[in-house]
Chain A
């Protein structure tokens, strides 16, 4: 067995000896066991064993990083040499830094040890359940895997964190077919540690499969109108992450192009809108334990009751943009509180709009303008789900959209990372042919 802590300490010592003022080392050993179904049939059983070594060195505020997947002494020496040459080619930037001393931690979470036979049986049952309950569904691909990782983070400030974690991942891609017609393809995925509950009863799979079966026959939207859109949780998560990327993190904060740059403590969403970055939420299977800088993470509210409470910033962005460092940078772990009404009641409140499972759109401009195709979606008319729609585009502005939040459902979907409801936003342009 490789002693990752010992190896990390050796790497840091060598980086110091090579001239680094400060340095970080991340080492990991990972194993994957994966079953694939293609075109409705089992096709592949795959096991992979990998390792990774990331070295980041700083000297006089210059930096460089190297990633290799070998722990061979010669490879490590080459990596250190490459890393220090990269450092020398850099220019100084005092905005850089690594985490202050926090001590040592042992962190174990998820289900690190797989039960491959039980997982295969659960996968086989999921396939059978889908075939029996949803006869029009054609399984383009199912990729179910268990991933185990042991990793160590160490730095020259004395931080040493040892982590062991694992989980079962379930991922499906499918469409519904009948009489030569088909729905759009749809995907579902989640992570779990529970192999006792049938996989079809976890995540949001059953609802989505059922609704995709109703999307074989579609009706185009005529003309263009402004309406309310209810986004399904997975789609909502994608849009919220995009908004964070445009307005609340990274380069847009540094170069000042973020429209939220001066909005800390001010309203950026409707008063009923709250969004947290919560990698330690009880329903999170895997967790962001550390930021890239080496800080142990804590949950925080990005937006509370419509007010921007924080940006998403590590040390560099914090120093460069002059904004406070955030308690985590875990944009994959979004949590919204449950709403005050059921999904049916949420739909009942919409006179004319769309229910959108999937948004096929490009990355918006920095100003948040977006447009794209509403896929796997239904028209909402007079408070009821109507026909599935085809060739329908939606467009708007992400910043404006958050200010037009109309409410969220009590039902929330847990995918092992995020916990999100169905959410309604008004003022979105909906256009068809």
Chain B
């Protein structure tokens, strides 16, 4: 643990006006049971200290895998040297950035860190239940993954912080054959913010989720391919969350706006139906803790919610201190680094489309011929807002009623066009947080949304 470093190192900055030092420790615990055999049984820990110095609008950064006081001095000097080199080469001549609010934020509760045995025994108990109760599976894989980022941030011109971001998930991957003998698969992720001992007390708690996944998979083995083309769809909450993150959130990250994203010329303009509002939540949402709360970012900026779309109008970007100056906005705590050797980048925290007032049952009843898409395994989008999401589970809707399940397919669209077709928004938000966002560095993020009725391009065969 890094508690001993909370108050150390402030005297090492030596008058450097714009710098930060971050001591960090990342841990990962994982096990993987394939067909009952333990394929992975791994523990990893990466610790180190980094420094970033900003001069004339460019940054020098250095890190080392050592937490000592001596190392802090070493990385600070190296970062200063790097900043001086680059500043001397490119001479952008930008003025110093405004400081963030001075203060300190320290989390006191340290997450638990059980031994591998705890994960293995829990997974074996669930696996035993799967074997007994899911006879048609041809393959099963159970994976536990727990990770935690602990950071101690020291910033002369900002808020010092000591934070933990622990997550723990049990992933269930099931495969069964169609009547033609073709394997189809489906997975679910259970867990969330916190450590194993907080989230997984009794294997029996997981059994209903096993039954649910198995039931959906069996329906999928009887599934059909959707018709390709533009269709009326109800996008499930996890897919709406992915849309919020991949197809909208990335386009409003200010570094990508500068790089030419579609959101650049759209500020203040209509980008979605008036039923759509979208927020990147910092640490709480809808009166509860957000899935992966961020309290202070890695530039020392206290984290607050960032409003992105209000009633269909694009109203804001996600910024770090530098881009906030450029766009005349306030930094809201979106500068985040993943590894001890990573510099802070503009990242999302907990990005969600806000709920509306429709009931899911009414939304389904309103569709004459379309699809209800519930599960996704992956998604991508680019800075034009064009997105692609893999659909791992969904259903036909015929005459207002759910029909046959779907085989794997893909949907695509352009976010700021597709969001204008949204004409119903459900009253319930579904969050997910088990994956990583990728943008030079990985980053744990939360994403969420309600069901959306909209028009989408379905892939098919």
**B138 contact set on A, CB distance < 8 A:** 255-257
Given A45-B83, A68-B45: A39 touches B259 (CB 8 Å cut-off) = yes
Contact A177 B379 (CB under 8 A): no
Contact B58 A90 (CB under 8 A): no
Contact A395 B460 (CB under 8 A): yes
User: What separation, in Å, do the CA atoms of A429 and B35 have in the docked complex?
Assistant: 35
Contact B459 A395 (CB under 8 A): yes
| Stretch touching chain A among B178-186, B307-315, B348-356 | B178-186
User: Shortest distance in angstroms between B380's beta carbon and chain A's nearest beta carbon?
Assistant: 5
Contact B47 A69 (CB under 8 A): yes
Contact A65 B43 (CB under 8 A): yes
Contact A68 B183 (CB under 8 A): no
Question: Which chain B residues in 114-156 approach chain A with CB under 8 Å?
Answer: 115-117, 120-121, 138-139, 141
User: Shortest distance in angstroms between A314's beta carbon and chain B's nearest beta carbon?
Assistant: 11
User: What separation, in Å, do the CA atoms of A138 and B255 have in the docked complex?
Assistant: 13
Contact A257 B175 (CB under 8 A): yes
**B413 contact set on A, CB distance < 8 A:** 391
Q: A254 within 8 Å of B by Cβ?
A: yes
User: Shortest distance in angstroms between A90's beta carbon and chain B's nearest beta carbon?
Assistant: 5
**B44 contact set on A, CB distance < 8 A:** 66-68
Q: A182 within 8 Å of B by Cβ?
A: yes
User: What separation, in Å, do the CA atoms of A294 and B341 have in the docked complex?
Assistant: 28
Q: B190 within 8 Å of A by Cβ?
A: no
**B412 contact set on A, CB distance < 8 A:** 360, 372-373, 391, 393
Interface residue tally for chain B (C-beta within 8 Å): 82
Per-position binary interface string of chain A over residues 372-389, scored 1 when its CB falls under 8 Å from any chain B CB and 0 otherwise:
110100000000000000
User: What separation, in Å, do the CA atoms of A86 and B115 have in the docked complex?
Assistant: 8
**B86 contact set on A, CB distance < 8 A:** 35, 42, 44-45
**A184 contact set on B, CB distance < 8 A:** 382, 384, 386
Contact A47 B408 (CB under 8 A): no
User: Shortest distance in angstroms between A407's beta carbon and chain B's nearest beta carbon?
Assistant: 24
Contact A50 B341 (CB under 8 A): yes
Question: Which chain B residues in 246-274 approach chain A with CB under 8 Å?
Answer: 255-256, 258-260, 262, 265
Question: Which chain A residues in 77-112 approach chain B with CB under 8 Å?
Answer: 82-83, 85-91, 93, 95
**A93 contact set on B, CB distance < 8 A:** 37-38
Contact B41 A65 (CB under 8 A): yes
Given A46-B61, A47-B78, A64-B116: A391 touches B409 (CB 8 Å cut-off) = no
Interface centre among B184, B380, B389 (most CB of A within 10 A): B380
Contact of A69 among B38, B59, B65, B83 (CB under 8 A): B65
Given A46-B82, A251-B141: A372 touches B410 (CB 8 Å cut-off) = yes
Contact A393 B42 (CB under 8 A): no
Contact B414 A391 (CB under 8 A): yes
Contact of A89 among B42, B89, B116 (CB under 8 A): B116
User: What separation, in Å, do the CA atoms of A44 and B117 have in the docked complex?
Assistant: 43
**A280 contact set on B, CB distance < 8 A:** none
Given A49-B64, A393-B457: A43 touches B35 (CB 8 Å cut-off) = no
Contact A255 B382 (CB under 8 A): no
User: What separation, in Å, do the CA atoms of A48 and B337 have in the docked complex?
Assistant: 14
Contact of B61 among A39, A47, A82, A124 (CB under 8 A): A47
Contact A375 B386 (CB under 8 A): yes
Contact A39 B255 (CB under 8 A): yes
Q: A207 within 8 Å of B by Cβ?
A: no
**B365 contact set on A, CB distance < 8 A:** none
Q: B230 within 8 Å of A by Cβ?
A: yes
Given A38-B259, A143-B440, A362-B410: A85 touches B228 (CB 8 Å cut-off) = no
User: What separation, in Å, do the CA atoms of A191 and B138 have in the docked complex?
Assistant: 41
Contact B228 A224 (CB under 8 A): yes
Given A43-B59, A67-B44, A431-B228: A180 touches B382 (CB 8 Å cut-off) = no
User: What separation, in Å, do the CA atoms of A91 and B123 have in the docked complex?
Assistant: 13
User: What separation, in Å, do the CA atoms of A88 and B117 have in the docked complex?
Assistant: 8
User: What separation, in Å, do the CA atoms of A91 and B440 have in the docked complex?
Assistant: 38
Contact B260 A393 (CB under 8 A): no
Q: B1 within 8 Å of A by Cβ?
A: no
Per-position binary interface string of chain A over residues 53-79, scored 1 when its CB falls under 8 Å from any chain B CB and 0 otherwise:
000000000011111111000000000
**Could you pull out 18 A-B pairs where Cβ atoms are within 8 angstroms?**
A49-B65, A50-B64, A64-B41, A66-B43, A85-B116, A89-B121, A95-B37, A141-B255, A173-B259, A224-B229, A360-B412, A362-B389, A365-B183, A367-B182, A369-B407, A395-B459, A431-B460, A433-B230
- Across chains A and B, which 3 residue pairs bring their CB atoms closest together, nearest first? A362-B390, A140-B259, A39-B258
